[in-house]
Structures are given as C-alpha cells and as structure tokens.
Amino acid sequence: MTWSDLLPDHLGADRLSAPGGEPVLTVDAATWRRPRVPIQAVVIGIDRAGALPAAVAEDFDLLLTTATAAPRPWVSVGSFARVDDLADAVRANPLAATIAAQILRLTVRLPLADALTVESLAYSALLGGAEFARWRDALTIDRRLTTPSDPVAIERSGDRLVLTLSDPANRNAMTAAMREALHEALANALDDPTEPEVCLRGAGKCFSTGGALAEFGTARDLAEAHAVRTLHSCARALDALGARGTVRLHGACVGSGIEVAAAAHRRIAAPDAWFQLPEISMGLIPGAGGTATVARAVGRHRTLWMLLSGRRIRADMALDWGLVHAVEDDP
C-alpha cells in the first residue's frame, strides 16, 4: 500500500497506524514528502539506484540505499530483498514498531534525562500490551535464576575505578540485582570528591547479553517500575560522568548490554564485539536507554534499522557508524 492509495486527510491518515491496519509504508526516497496530516506508520525510504538523493531525513524513519559505505542517516544494503523482512517485522509487532519510531523522533530533540523518561513510559506501556504478552507466553526457559552475591566487582587503583559486570555464568545478563549494584557504584563515583576515572567492563566471554529473560514480565506494578527505572538509570549515571567514563566492550553486547554502555563518553570495542537490539521482536522497545543513547551515537534512522532487522552489528561497522570510538585488543 502507498500513500496514493489513501485519502490525504486526517480521517484517511488514521489508516496509517497500528490500530488502522497499515503500520508501515515503503516509499521512494527521492520523491516522498511526509504529509502534513499526522501519521504513525513507519516510513521506510528506499534508494534503489544507489544515487543517494537529497532526501529530507526528517520525512523518514529509515533510509535504505544500494550505495556502498553510504553516509548517515542512510543504511547501505546489498539489495532490497530484505526490505520486505523489515516491513514484516513492523507488521508482526506494529504497536512496538510504530511506538519505537515515534519515540526516536521525539527523544532526539530532548535532553538525555528527559529522553530516558519518555522511553521508560513507553516501555512500561508496552509491557502491559498484547504483543509482549504473546512473546512472553511463547518463551520457554528455566525461570529459576541463580545470581552472584556481588554482581558488580569494584576495584580502585589511585584515581581509577574499574567496575566489572561479574556474572559470566549468565553471560552478565542485566538482572535487577546487577542494575542496582551498577547504579550504586556509578552514583558513588559521581559523589566521590576525588572524581575518579571510571572504566566499565564485563567478565567472561562477553560484556552482557542484556536483560535477564527470566525476569521479563515479572513487574506487577508497571507505573512503579517506570519510577524505579528512571530513578536508578545506569545510562543517566554513566552519561553524568562525562569524560571520566569509559566502557570496554567485547563479545555479545545485546539490548541493555549496549544501551547502557552507549551512554559512556568513551566506548572501546574489542575486535570480537558485536551489538544487537532485539526488543521489537519481543513486542517492546529498549528500556535501558537505547532510544536515547544508541540514537545519539548512530542516529535515529540507523537505530530503527537495528531494532527492525534485529541484526548483529560487528565491531568494524560499529566503529564506522560511531557506536564505538575505537576497536582495540583488550589490554
């Protein structure tokens, strides 16, 4: 379906939404202009010729081109065979996908703390939605979770503080206990009058595989969960460190495992690091800050591509896109 098939008025535009039945539009990037009536559909602009037309980035949620090494905000694709996969991802979880696009459009204009609040509100709303419930009901995992008593190790050497996510048996999954421990450590570093440099890293084979699946959907009071999430935001605390904050990333950096890390002012990846945002497939959006932190690093268009495609981003692409500042072997 294209815009020309719909009435260009306010009532007709209602159809371009998750409730209206058409949550995604695939359009020609060279000729599309966003209508003045409000639409909620995800707008994917495509450049089949690889000509990189002078598209108005504000008119699109995602821009795809066959040109190689295309500049931001474009995403280079070898062919458009996967465009249908992106549209299918929107249609599979239309509320999560269209809300993600709306949040990305909004939060890019806000201070980080405000952007995190907006994201958290939307995340809590989706936790109560049917799309997440469907994913959770289909999840077959052992919900018994054994976590270490000290999920974040703290070492101090002079004016340098090293914080290590220390649950390698669970691939440093971001449990509630780990998030609280990390926030406490970051808050203490912020309050320390000696202003130590802070390095955040992960123990074991990877930095973090993100939120612990066994804990997903266990919050009974979603309003309170939002309040706690924003009050103890690790992304906000890490950002507040400014130039004192560095993260070293290796192996899997999934979901909150990159959302929090992307708030650091210096991000260093090992050659084996890879990054992924799988939340849309779960009927959710990022909840640890990704629509604000990742989008500030790579732009909202490329962030949405990560969300809709669910694809892994290797260290070299992460460096090219600005998700990390350097790729180095871990000393």
Is 101 domain-assigned? no
- 200 and 78 belong to one structural domain: no
CATH of residue 157's domain is 3.90.226.10
Give the sheet arrangement for strand 75-76, strand by strand: 24-28, 42-47, 62-65, 75-76
Is 106 domain-assigned? no
* Model confidence band, residue 1 (pLDDT cutoffs 50, 70, 90): very low
Give the sheet arrangement for strand 326-327, strand by strand: 152-157, 160-165, 197-202, 245-249, 266-269, 326-327
The total of structural domains in the chain comes to: 2
Question: Of 300, 215, 204, which Cα lies nearest the Cα of 256?
Answer: 215
Is 98 domain-assigned? no
The Cα 11–Cα 203 span in angstroms is 54
- 227 and 145 belong to one structural domain: yes
- 72 and 38 belong to one structural domain: yes
Is 102 domain-assigned? no
Burial of 129-161, coded b for 16+ CB within 10 Å and e otherwise, reads eebbeebbeeeeeeeebebbeebbeeeeeeeeb
Number of other CB atoms surrounding residue 329 within 10 Å:
8
Is 250 domain-assigned? yes
- 223 and 78 belong to one structural domain: no
Is 322 domain-assigned? yes
For residue 294, the cross-strand partners are: none
Number of other CB atoms surrounding residue 78 within 10 Å:
8
Is 104 domain-assigned? no
**Last residue within a domain, chosen from 92, 122, 155:** 92
**Last residue within a domain, chosen from 92, 119, 141:** 92
Task: Please tell me the pTM assigned to this model.
Answer: 0.94
- pLDDT, tens digit, for every residue of 140-178? 876 666 778 899 999 999 999 999 999 999 999 999 999
Question: Of 240, 234, 246, which Cα lies nearest the Cα of 179?
Answer: 234
- 79 and 180 belong to one structural domain: no
- 174 and 323 belong to one structural domain: yes
pLDDT computed for residue 143 by the predictor: 64
- 246 and 318 belong to one structural domain: yes
- 177 and 307 belong to one structural domain: yes
The Cα diameter of the chain in Å comes to: 66
Residue 80 in contact with residue 46, Cβ under 8 Å? yes
The Cα 159–Cα 201 span in angstroms is 17
The Cα 138–Cα 81 span in angstroms is 28
- pLDDT, tens digit, for every residue of 8-53? 577 778 889 999 999 999 999 999 888 888 899 999 999 998 999 9
Please say if the pLDDT value at position 291 is more than 70.
yes
In order, the DSSP letters of 270-293 are: -TT-EEE--GGGGT---SSSHHHH
- 241 and 209 belong to one structural domain: yes
- 257 and 127 belong to one structural domain: yes
Is 294 domain-assigned? yes
Residue 76 in contact with residue 68, Cβ under 8 Å? yes
- 48 and 169 belong to one structural domain: no
**Last residue within a domain, chosen from 59, 92, 125:** 92
Structure tokens at 113: 């703390």
Q: What residues make up the domain containing 56?
A: 3-92
- pLDDT, tens digit, for every residue of 196-245? 999 999 999 999 999 988 888 788 899 999 999 999 999 999 999 999 99
Cβ within 8 Å of residue 295, ≥6 positions away:
104, 107, 108, 303
- 35 and 150 belong to one structural domain: no
